[in-house]
Amino acid sequence: MDAETPKAARLNLPQAFLLLGTNDADGKPDIPVFALRTGLAGAILAELDRSGAVELRGKHVRATGTAAPPGLEHELELIQHKSRPHTPKRWVSMLEGRAAVQRVFESMAPLGIVERTGERHLGLFRTVRYAEKDHGPRAALVRDLELALASRAGSPAPDPRLLALIGLLEASGLFGKLFPEADRVWADEVAKDYWPSRAVEDELRLVRLAEEEAATL
């Protein structure tokens, strides 16, 4: 891409999701950490799916033989080398974690979008976070999503990439925070129509049930 290409256009779904899911000033999650990590895992699956590197066959996610998008080679190798296939929900639970969050943030640092910050203790970083260095990509993402929401009932239909992002944002609990006036019923339908976002919803439902049960013990 040339120098005039907006940085937002370079972002893959995991990068876009993480940028929208964290505070631009300090990089802290705008939703519970477990929800951010789960949503990011769904975004990784969605990017692999949209690139043609994986597909849903029946109830299982399978590699297709197509190369991974840049930056997602590690995740695709995990899927390729498993001795048996797993469901989308199982892959969400296996891909989520702090390491995935850090890898995606680190992939945005060379683009000048975020910079590493942290809280120091005795001269050492105890908590590493990534604050926005360039607000333009996030603003462009929000603008694109707002246009997609405004035109969803008309023509042309929203871009499939943006629909995937909307589904992931809704499934993880971010959509209502970003667009409080938007149609949540429609966003929920979008989330349920796409298997990576359904997997996020299923995983978060189990996490919340476990928390509720633990609170009653």
Q: How many other CB atoms are there within 10 angstroms of residue 152's CB atom?
A: 17
Contact 109, 129 (CB under 8 A): no
Report pLDDT for 207. 86
Per-residue pLDDT of the chain (217 residues; tens, 9 = 90+): 344 445 556 799 999 999 999 998 888 999 999 999 999 999 999 999 999 999 999 999 999 999 999 999 999 999 999 989 999 999 999 999 999 999 999 999 999 999 988 665 555 656 788 999 999 999 999 999 998 898 775 556 678 999 999 999 999 999 999 999 999 999 999 999 999 999 999 999 998 887 777 777 6
C-alpha distance from residue 32 to each of 22, 29, 123, 184 (Å): 10, 7, 28, 20
For the question of whether the overall pTM of this predicted structure is more than 0.75, the answer is yes
Dist CA 62 CA 60 (whole Å): 6
Contact 118, 138 (CB under 8 A): no
Vertex 89: Cα angle to 86 and 101 (nearest 5): 105
Dist CA 204 CA 217 (whole Å): 20
**Collapsed DSSP state (helix, strand, coil) of residue 66:** coil
Contact 200, 171 (CB under 8 A): yes
Please report the domains of the chain, with CATH numbers, ordered by start residue. 9-207 (1.10.3630.10)
By DSSP bridging, strand 124-132 and strand 114-121 are antiparallel
